[in-house]
Amino acid sequence: MAENGQAGNGAGQNPLGLKRIHHVEFACGNAKQSSYYYRKAFGFSQAAYSGLETGNRESARYLLKQNEINLVLTTPLTSKHVFNDQLTKHGDGVVDIAFEVDSADQAFATAVERGAEPAIEPYDWKDEGGSVRHAAIRTYGDTIHSFVEHKDYSGPFLPGFTEKRIDEQGTGLIRIDHIVGNVELGRMNEWAGFYEKVMGFHRYITFDDKDISTEYSALMSIVMSNNTYAIKFPINEPAAGKKKSQIEEYLDWYEGAGAQHIALLTADIVPTIKALMERGVEFLYVPETYYEDVLERVGQIEEPLGTLKPLGILIDRDDEGYLLQLFTKPVEDRPTLFYEIIQRRGCRGFGKGNFRALFEAIEREQDRRGNL
């Protein structure tokens, strides 16, 4: 199936009452050091902390913020903590993509009724700031979706957190644009169906192995979106190729399905990429030949090509406008999680015209790691 913008049966629905991505939580081997990296490399500010000093005897948790983006970095403090199994199997990575909802009970009950597997039954999560209602369901791999209902809560973030600010100069990152999940061969349609049936998402765009391929590897992808297009989850699976695709590499080293990359939106990608590079963030290399005919493909753009080319920024267009994007190298020692920096000028797509250049850049890195 080629690229398709038609909505499925779930279009216009919001059966769980999802409002936005509340936060993304990571299991970390050392959250203190990871938080330093995200502050110094990506320009996140630390806003709150939960740990031994706040009465949390189970984990150390750091809330990092930049505009509308909330990242929670969590390290278990005891051998009994559930994240230890996560870290042993997967290494550092995303464990929870959490949603803000009007009613955690309604969201949880509806999700389970529509076929979701429960992860955390609804309960009141309390501290001196008041109460948060919390529940969670399971999705691909060991990832969960939490439902967060703030009720009357007046604390800095969630119960157990106290305000502990370390301010950094931001890099222009505004909010999460989309989060990509990699799943095992043959399970993409199953998980797309999960988001459609359970959460009322619709199939926004579909890419097959003719859209996303190089001489050596390929993948297939279905982009699932909620009714407002504020929450978008592409689901990838590997496709047959001469060599190992980036999806297979991820599945091998993450040892299962999980969140492959998080796309962060910026209003002006050029100063954002410059700031990130100056702070030490490593990006995929884009050869200069990419720019020889790019304007013939995408048409006129506002940014001078001479500004984008030295930074390796990719360009693509759809019927509604164009986008600018660039991808980091993996930010963990395992070749798993990475980030996409994206600016949209009307375009609602995902850079289909850049897939071959992107894949070839990823394959060069895979070859260096001995994983192609």
pLDDT at residue 351 in the model? 67
| Calpha distance 31→33 (Å, rounded) | 5
Lowest mean pLDDT among 67-71, 248-252, 368-372: 368-372
Averaged confidence pLDDT in the chain = 90
Q: How confident is the model at residue 1 (pLDDT cuts 50, 70, 90)?
A: very low
pLDDT for 356: 62
The answer on pLDDT for 6 being more than 90 is: no
Q: Answer yes or no: is pLDDT of 129 > 60.
A: yes
Q: What is the pLDDT of residue 246?
A: 81
CA distance 55 to 342: 39
pLDDT surpassing 80 at residue 12 = no
Average pLDDT value for residue range 292-299 = 87
pLDDT tens readout for residues 237-259: 987 665 677 888 899 999 999 99
Strand partners, 205: 223
CA atoms within 13 A on the CB side of 328: 26
Flag whether the pTM goes above 0.85: yes
Residues above pLDDT 70, as percent of the chain: 88
Among residues 99, 101, 193, the alpha carbon closest in space to that of 140 is found at: 193
> Identity (one letter) of the amino acid at 111?
A
pLDDT at 217 over 50: no
Give the pLDDT of residue 288: 83
CA dihedral 267, 271, 273, 274 (to 10 degrees): -170
Report DSSP state, residue 101: E
Contact 161, 61 (CB under 8 A): yes
**Helices 355-369 + 246-254 axis angle, to 10:** 50
- pLDDT (mean) for 214-224: 71
At residue 214, does pLDDT exceed 60? no
Give me the percent of the chain exceeding a pLDDT of 90.
Answer: 75
Look at residue 343 and tell me whether its pLDDT is greater than 50.
yes
> Which has the minimum average pLDDT: 33-47, 135-149, 202-216?
202-216
Where is average pLDDT lowest: 155-169, 201-215, 269-283? Answer: 201-215
pLDDT of 128 higher than 90 = yes
Query: How far apart (Å, rounded) are the C-alpha atoms in residues 80 and 96?
Result: 19
Structural domains in the chain, CATH included, are: 18-166 (3.10.180.10), 173-369 (3.10.180.10)
If you average pLDDT over residues 178-204, what whole number do you get?
95
What pLDDT shows up at residue 359? 58
